Amino acid sequence: MRYFLSLGSNLGDRNKNLEKAAELLSKVGIRIIASSSVYKTEPVGIITGRWFYNQALEVETVYDPEELLCRVKRIEEQMGRVRTGCPGSRSIDIDILLAENKTLSTKTLQIPHPRMVKRNFVLYPLSEIAPEVKHPVLNEAIKDLLEKSKDRSYVKKL
């Protein structure tokens, strides 16, 4: 199954954290098909002083969405991510954005990611690697969602 993931880091060596996360994904049976550039982004919706580095990945794996989520959470823990319930700084954050043209809503996972269309730090990198991919609910291309975005937070390709 083909997925799009969003990676973000604002603790430690942010570039190395993104590289390490991609390496660990590859080691657990998740093949990376495409990687966006890294973007420096303003924190949105969290309290932190350090800006993020964000990246989007297109991946392929045999895992269903719930199993992929389990693998992703283990990688976050392995990299030192601590979930406090309070949004803030993190060594790595990996979100599942899209799973082909499927939708899913469980207690632990929503696909497409419910806030992706409101976040330029997701849309810019995703648009770089998948501009024509359509959001399965809105039926609009990622590049068009980026053009329509009302998010005015800072995003800069590094």
Pairing of β 2-9 and β 52-60: antiparallel
The tokens describing 150, both together, are: 């009302």
The predicted structure's pLDDT at residue 48: 67
- Residues of the chain falling short of pLDDT 50: none
Domains of the chain: 2-157 (3.30.70.560)
The predicted structure's pLDDT at residue 45: 74
**Could you read off the pLDDT of 101-133 as tens digits, one per residue?**
999 999 999 999 999 999 999 999 999 999 999
The predicted structure's pLDDT at residue 84: 57
Q: In this prediction, what percent of the chain has a pLDDT beyond 70? A: 94
The predicted structure's pLDDT at residue 2: 98
DSSP assignment letter at 1: -
User: Hey, which residues are catalytic here?
Assistant: 81, 90, 93, 95
The predicted structure's pLDDT at residue 100: 95
For the chain, the farthest-separated pair of C-alpha atoms sits apart, in whole angstroms, at: 38
pTM of the model: 0.94
* Cα-based distances in Å from 73 to 14, 58, 62, 95, 113: 18, 18, 17, 9, 15
21 HSE (CA, 13 A, CB side): 32
